[in-house]
A and B are shown apart, each in its own frame.
Chain A
Amino acid sequence: MAEWLRQPIARRSALTLGAGALASSPLWAQLLVDLGFSQGDGRRPLTDAFPGKRGMILQRARAPLLETPMAAFDGELGASTFTPNDRFFVRWHYADIPLSVDVDAFRLQVGGAVNRPLSLSLKQVQALPQVEIAAVNQCSGNSRGLFGPRVPGAQWGNGAIGNALWTGVRLRDLLERAGVAPGAVQVQFAGLDRPPGDAPWFAKSLTIDHARADEVIVAYGMNGTQLPLLNGFPLRLIVPGWFSTYWVKALDRITVLSAPDTGYWMDKAYRIPATPRASVVPGAKDFPTVPIGRMLPRAFFTRADAGGVRGIALGGDAGVAKVEWSIDGGKSWHAAQLGHDAGRYGFRRWAASVPPGAQTVAVRTTNTSGATQRFDPIWNPGGYMRNSIETMKVTQA
């Protein structure tokens, strides 16, 4: 690395570093993107420097936070809805993440309130019946940078999200092999990442009923191949319809609990107001909270130009029933075309042709449970659950 990159730099020059780095460092920050935040602070470098990743928006080098540019999701209505593994967003809490995994040495432990604790090799895991599901993985704080008033934390644009075909085994099948003891209430999941010092180990829990649900799987495949290390190789918990905080990466420990998980990551972190739309008055404190869980419907633009507007949609915890567009601020809505349905938990592509002239196009998804999107934004101090309607200015010939 060029020595000048090591020089102390002020905030303004930090933001332009990416552009300057192009000449001297082909591996690092090659372009800038602007995520369009309210304080003009949305500029971020694009990077190819992380193994197995290319063209990612650099939010943090350590622990890695890499966002997917919206352009990576773009495609014709009939194109695949899957996000390529090398463009899939990356989010780790602690800097000590697994950088090397030996597939022969790796073991998945299933323990706690079970009759037969298991220590399974990857071969033993793969010997169980193989299932597949298309599902959207979205960070709880996706779009946090678009909150107003702004809140601290990773300043994601809309790209802390991706859709993949996950291949693996049902969590239920693993639990049955271990034999869940009577009185089990939750199942806790932890991976190979480690906290600094005495910080709390990262672990998340689902209720025993949710853990036994048909769609919850332990995945060893992502879009037909093994997962990238940065996305949780060799095993990742897949919880379709729920936010990514539960999708524990490099999963190596499943613990059946006979009392609710009171650990930091369930009891204190990733909690949302127990209010409609998880929204409170900005600045509010001391309101009742619940753990974040189900996702909400959203629609995003991936392209808006003279050829029309198009993008991707998700239903959240249900399928996409319809995507609609409006050019009159939501007074009238019109059905967008939908791409093929790869399953209720995956992306659907949408496309629309809007009338000639300069327009502000709004787009909203309604899911098969009837939940839809609204214009008015929500607010909570964690910057979670944003799903307000996206708009885009476009001039049609």
Chain B
Amino acid sequence: MMRRLGTIVALAAVALLAGCERYATPESLRGGGTGAPIALTSQSITLPDETVTLPASADIVTVNCTACHSPDLILAQPKLKPEQWQAEVTKMRGAYKATIDEQDDGKIVAALLALQK
């Protein structure tokens, strides 16, 4: 499956990029103005909805952490020690000014560890 996808992608890439390959020389940096003009048009996009949520038992993580990043990244972390999770919480509060009450640290770290069980 992956290989077939790769072949299709490679073919598409060749078709797409055949037109600009000729400019891809170190010399073009020296020459200036060698390539075709690039037309710029306004862009607007909508990002997809998030699909992953945390279980109710991890509400304290949802409340304190997911305002800035979606749960998928939290769930994808390797198994971390309590002190590593605490360092993450401390970094978010110190470096990124997250409004995490220090009194909740223990509960947050415990919930993060429970998510990794």
Binding site for B on A (CB under 8 A): 1, 5-11, 14-15, 17, 21, 25, 27-29, 31, 33, 37-39, 41, 44, 47, 49-52, 55, 58-65, 69, 71-72, 74-76, 79-80, 82-84, 87, 94-95, 99-104, 122, 126, 129-134, 145, 150-152, 154-155, 165, 167, 195-200, 214-215, 220-221, 223-226, 228-230, 233-234, 264, 268-269, 302-303, 305, 342-344, 346
B63 at the interface (CB under 8 A from A): no
Contact with A60, one of B9, B10, B70, B117 (Cβ below 8 angstroms): B70
B60 lies within 8 A of chain A by Cβ? no
Report 6 cross-chain contacts, Cβ distance below 8 Å, ordered by A residue.
A15-B75, A21-B51, A31-B1, A82-B20, A87-B9, A226-B43
The reply to whether A84 and B17 form a contact with Cβ atoms under 8 Å apart is yes
B30-54, CB under 8 A of A: which get 1 and which 0?
A: 1111111111111111111111111
- Contact at B6–A99, with CB atoms within 8 Å? no
A303 CB, nearest partner CB in chain B, Å: 7
Distance, CA A344 to CA B27, complexed state (A): 11
Contacts A152-B80, A199-B96, A226-B38: A100 and B88 contacting too (C-beta < 8 A)? Answer: no
| Contact residues, B42-80 vs A (CB, 8 A) | 42-56, 67-73, 75-80
A215–B50 alpha-carbon span in the complex (Å): 39
Q: How far is the CB of A165 from chain B (nearest CB, A)?
A: 5
Asked if residues B38 and A220 are in contact (CB atoms below 8 Å), the reply is yes
Residues of chain A within 8 A (CB-CB) of B37 are 126, 130
Q: A129-B33, A269-B95 are in contact. List 16 more A-B contacts (CB 8 A).
A: A25-B51, A28-B48, A39-B78, A49-B48, A51-B45, A61-B47, A64-B47, A80-B21, A84-B9, A100-B44, A130-B33, A131-B28, A133-B29, A152-B80, A165-B24, A226-B39
- Supposing A196-B67, A226-B40 touch, asked if A99 and B47 sit within 8 A by C-beta, the answer is yes
Q: Give the shortest distance, in Å, between B35 (CB) and chain A (any CB).
A: 5
Give the residues in chain A near B55, CB-CB below 8 Å. 8-10
CB <8 Å contact, B43 and A233:
yes
Quote the shortest CB–CB distance from B104 to chain A (angstroms): 17
Contacts known (A17-B51, A28-B51, A51-B47); A150 close to B79, Cβ less than 8 A: yes
Assuming the A-B contacts A27-B48, A52-B45, A132-B28, are A303 and B6 also in contact, with contact meaning beta carbons closer than 8 angstroms in the complex?
yes
Residues from chain A with Cβ under 8 Å of B69 in the complex = 60, 62-63, 95
Contact yes or no, B1 A155, CB < 8 A = no
Interface of B toward A, CB cutoff 8 Å: 1-3, 5-7, 9-10, 12-14, 16-21, 23-26, 28-56, 67-73, 75-80, 84, 88, 95-99, 115-117
Give me the 4 closest cross-chain CB pairs, A-B, nearest first.
A71-B6, A150-B78, A224-B20, A221-B38
Task: Check A14–B13 contact: CB distance below 8 A.
Answer: no
Least distance between A130 CB and chain B CB atoms (Å): 5
The total of Cβ contacts below 8 Å across the A-B interface reads 235
Cross-chain contact A343 with B25 (CB below 8 angstroms): yes
Separation in Å of the B111 CB from the closest CB of chain A? 12
Known: A61-B51, A74-B10. A14 touches B38 (CB 8 A): no
A171 to chain B, nearest CB (A): 13
Minimum distance in angstroms from A280 CB to a CB of chain B: 16
Are B52's CB and A342's CB within 8 A?
Answer: no
* B41 contacts across to A, CB distance below 8 A: 103, 226
What A residues does B116 contact at CB under 8 A? 11
Q: Are A82 and B10 in contact (CB under 8 A)?
A: no
Chain B nearest Cβ from A143, distance in angstroms? 14
The reply to whether A84 and B12 form a contact with Cβ atoms under 8 Å apart is: yes
Cβ-neighbour of B25 out of A94, A200, A342 (below 8 A): A342
Chain A nearest CB from B12 CB (Å) reads 7
* Chain B residues within 8 Å of A344, by CB: 26
Chain B residues closer than 8 Å to A224, beta-carbon distance: 17, 19-20, 23, 35-36, 38
Given A94-B68, A229-B43, CB of A154 within 8 Å of CB of B73 = yes
- A215: chain B residues within 8 A (beta carbon): 29
Closest A residue to B33 by beta carbon equals A130
Q: With a CB–CB cut-off of 8 A, which chain A residues contact B48?
A: 27-28, 47, 49-50, 61
**Which residue of A is nearest B68, CB measured?**
A196
Q: A58-B72, A132-B24, A152-B80 are in contact. Are A223 and B35 (CB under 8 A)?
A: no
Across the interface, do A99 and B46 meet the contact criterion of CB distance under 8 Å?
Answer: yes
